[in-house]
Amino acid sequence: MNAVIKEQYEAQGYALVSGLIPLEVIERGEEAMWRAVEADPRDPTTWTKARPFAQTLEEPALAACYTPELLAMAALLAEDDPVIFTAPTHVLALNVFPDPAAEWKMPHPHIDHAIKEHGHFTFPRAFRIATMLYLNDVPVHGGGTVVWPGSHRKIEALAKSDPVKYALMYDLNRDLALAGIGEPLELTPKRGDVLFYHYLLAHAGSGNVSDRPRFAMNRKW
């Protein structure tokens, strides 16, 4: 099973993996997220004040979602020392609240760690691996992460074509259109699924026109 996941990750630059987090841990995590955003799952009128997309939260029930199995998978895919892959004390929530009246549009791709002021270098890798951890089922057009399968290799080739020009992730990200990254794929994860993605994978968040929020967390090592 792990060999199949690793093969997928290497070829496509991402792998969406189920079964790393016990269901009761995810359920407690989802309950904690509703409390953290001060919203009632049974009352959509309370969802409107829960606006911010990114929120850092110190919440043990959310940190507990980073199970030893998840951390071991991150180490396996990133090919680095397992001691590096620790669970967080503070989690980064990335929640997409629904706007059923909006029109869903395919988002534009980006790579992470590409903010100019942060000055991250392209080589050696800006981070080992990134994860998105989903706390609820995500329907089509419900705020699923969009990935460009295999784009990590195309973007790597672009970077290596001019290592000086693309020394910074910021400059590489600006030229993604030159990399020929192919067609996007909108993921529809199940609760408890974890998306592992390569630091050069083109991806994007997307809008949520469904009838429920998308609760997720992002962590990188």
The site for ligand AKG (CB under 6 A) is made up of: 94, 112, 132, 145, 203-205
Spatial CA neighbour of 66 closest among 37, 26, 93, 18: 26
94 binds, among Fe ion, ligand AKG, none (CB under 5 to 8 A by kind): ligand AKG
Residue among 21, 47, 76, 112 that touches Fe ion (CB under 5 A): 112
Query: Which is closer to ligand AKG, CB of 85 or CB of 148?
Result: 148
Residues 187-216 within binding reach of Fe ion (CB under 5 A)? none
Contacts of 74 (CB under 8 A, 6+ apart): 85, 128, 129, 131, 196, 221
**Are the C-beta atoms of 159 and 98 separated by less than 8 Å?**
no
Q: Of Fe ion, ligand AKG, none, which one sits near residue 145, judging by CB under 5 to 8 A according to partner kind?
A: ligand AKG
Query: Quick check: helix, strand or coil at residue 207?
Result: coil
CB of 105 or CB of 165, closer to ligand AKG: 105
Per the CB < 8 A criterion, the answer to whether 168 and 122 are in contact is yes
Nearest-approach distance from CB 103 to ligand AKG, in angstroms: 18
Binding segment for Fe ion (CB under 5 A), chosen from 43-51, 58-66, 107-115, 193-201, is 107-115
Residue 143 makes contact with Fe ion by CB under 5 A: no
Nearer to ligand AKG, 42 or 207 (CB): 207
CA distances (Å), origin 81, targets 15, 78, 121: 20, 9, 21
Q: Which window, 2-10, 64-72, 110-118, 185-193, contacts Fe ion (CB under 5 A)?
A: 110-118
Nearer to Fe ion, 46 or 55 (CB): 55
Residue 156 binds Fe ion (CB under 5 A): no
Tell me: does residue 30 bind Fe ion (CB under 5 A): no
Closer to Fe ion by CB, 30 or 112: give it.
112
The residue (of 54 and 83) whose beta carbon lies closer to ligand AKG is 54
Of 125, 92, 105, which is closest to residue 219 (Cα–Cα)? 92
Angle between helix axes 68-78 and 2-12 (nearest 10 degrees) is 50
Hey, how many other C-beta atoms are within 10 angstroms of the C-beta on 145? 26
143, amino acid identity: G
> What does DSSP say about strands 185-186 and 146-147: parallel, antiparallel, or unpaired?
antiparallel
Q: How far is the CB of 201 from ligand AKG (least distance, A)?
A: 10
Q: Which residues bind Fe ion (CB under 5 A)?
A: 112
